Amino acid sequence: MVQDPDCLFCRIVRGELPSTRIDEDDRTLTFMDINPASDGHSLVIPKAHARDLHDITPEDLAACSVTAQRVAARAVKQLGADGVNLLNCAGADAWQTVFHFHLHVVPRFRDSPDRDSLRLPWTSTPGDPARITAAAELLRATT
C-alpha cells in the first residue's frame, strides 16, 4: 500500500496521529471529523494514499463508497439522523483542504440546530437550457 509520509491522513492510518476511529476494513478507515458539521460527522478514507477523486483507484473508490453507506446506515439507526449527506471535495477550488481522498459522512438532524450546522452552499435556481445542453455535450465526449 502506497502512502505519503507527510500526509496527515496517512499518518492517521499508520497510527502516528490520534483519531477517533469508528470503522476499519482492509481498504478503508473511518474516523470522526474534528471540525464536525453535525453530530456523528465522520470521514471515510482509503488506507492507500490518493490525492483526490481524480487520483483514487476504482477499487478504493468503490470500497470507500461501501464503507460510507455502512456508516450512513449506522448514523440513522444509532444516532437517529433524519438523513445523511455524503460530500467529497476534489481540489482546492472545490474546498478540499486535506489532499488525501475522503468522503464526509454528515448525519442530518431536522429542526436540531444544536446537532446540525450544515447549510446548503448554493441557491437552487433554474439554469440556462443552452448552457446545460452545451455542458452535457462536452461531458458525453469519451476522448
* 93: DSSP letter: G
d(CA 71, CA 106): 10
Give the single-character DSSP code of 116.
Answer: B
Residue among 41, 49, 100, 102 flagged as catalytic: 102
Residues 90 and 20: their CA atoms lie apart, in Å, by: 24
Q: Is 49 a catalytic residue?
A: no
Nearest to 44 by CA among 60, 31, 54, 59: 31
**Do 44 and 30 form a contact (C-beta atoms < 8 A)?**
yes
Active centre residues (catalytic): 102
